Structure 1
């Protein structure tokens, strides 16, 4: 299984800088080990407020219990709280992506399908078929990297690439299901411990 983990670190006031540097160095080394074992897939920096220390991670584990063992083994866990979101396979997931967009920025996009009750079922069905075809095309063009189902009805999470937010917004607005979806986009920054060679 795959999981999205929001990791928030709060260093206790008065902690010596040397202690922080030591744990960060051990965290980096341990992250490389977890990546080598196939548990840590990606790390990103979301937009941060001043003084905030938060990371988004994509992890893989056999089950929830094994994931907790992985997270508990990370040195920064002594100062960190983790919010775990299980990710389920999505039928339109293009992994592995067919193409890349070198130098493009990455974004996480949350989708929620919210069609009105009087929306004809055939309209949604037709758009869903068209959405699958569109997803394949966007993956081939390097926009869509991964796609997962989220807990709850009609919810999905996508990893996307684009040169700038406006470009991605135009792509998302053209999706066949766009008239019935709410979209929340999070720009992602590079993380020094990200194990993916495709992150840049």
Structure 2
């Protein structure tokens, strides 16, 4: 089972820069061990405010208890709060892995679908089928990397595009776009991201 973990670190007052560097060094080494064991799949940095220290991590674990064991063993956990979001595969998730592009920016897109009450069933069926076809095309074009369902209902997509405008055009091309409330989050590379290191 996969989990998206938002990891927010706040270093207490009085901790020296040398102590922070030492813990961060151990964190990087431990992240490599977790990646080798198949427990840490990806790491990203979201947009940050000055002084903010936050990371998105994609983890693999049998269940929430096993994930907690993994997270509690990470050196930065002494200063960190973790928010865990269980993920399940979306029916339109790409069948084959989408290669990462070194030049592109990755984005999360959160989709909340609201079908109008007066939408004809035939139109709903047509757009749903078109959505599945279009996501396959976008995966083949190297734009859609992964697609999940979040535990709280909305879908979560991992995309890559050359610019925000390209991503906007991609998302607007989805047949269900008129019924989607979409939030996008640009991601920047994390130095310990095993996905980028393997690419």
Q: Structure 1 73/163 Cα, relative in aligned 2: closer, same or farther at 3 Å?
A: same
Three-state SS of the structure 1 residue aligned to 2:194 is coil
Q: Structure 1 140/34 Cα, relative in aligned 2: closer, same or farther at 3 Å?
A: same
> 1:98 Cα deviation (Å)?
4.5
Cα distance in 2, alignment partners of residues 134 and 102 from structure 1: 24
**Alignment-derived partner of residue 40 in structure 2:** 40
**Alignment-derived partner of residue 193 in structure 1:** 192
**Alignment-derived partner of residue 171 in structure 2:** 172
Does the CA-based 8 Å contact 1:44-1:188 persist in structure 2? yes
1:50 aligns with 2:19: no
**Alignment-derived partner of residue 28 in structure 2:** 28
Following superposition of structure 1 onto structure 2, how do residues 1-200 of structure 1 map, counting pairs within 5 Å?
Answer: 1-153=1-153, 155-197=154-196
Three-state SS of the structure 2 residue aligned to 1:77 is helix
Three-state SS of the structure 1 residue aligned to 2:178 is helix
> 1:160 Cα deviation (Å)?
0.1
For the aligned residue pairs, the C-alpha RMSD in angstroms reads: 1.4
Cα distance in 2, alignment partners of residues 198 and 100 from structure 1: 11
> 1:199 Cα deviation (Å)?
7.7
How high is the TM-score relative to the length of structure 1? Answer: 0.95
1:132-163 per-position Cα deviation (integer Å, ceiling 9, x unaligned) = 1111100000000000011244x100000000
Does the CA-based 8 Å contact 2:98-2:144 persist in structure 1? no
Q: Which runs of 5+ in 2 are unaligned?
A: none
Q: Which runs of 5+ in 1 are unaligned?
A: none
Does the CA-based 8 Å contact 1:45-1:190 persist in structure 2? yes
Give 4+ residue runs of structure 1 displaced > 4 Å after superposition: none
> 1:101 Cα deviation (Å)?
3.4
How high is the TM-score relative to the length of structure 2? Answer: 0.96
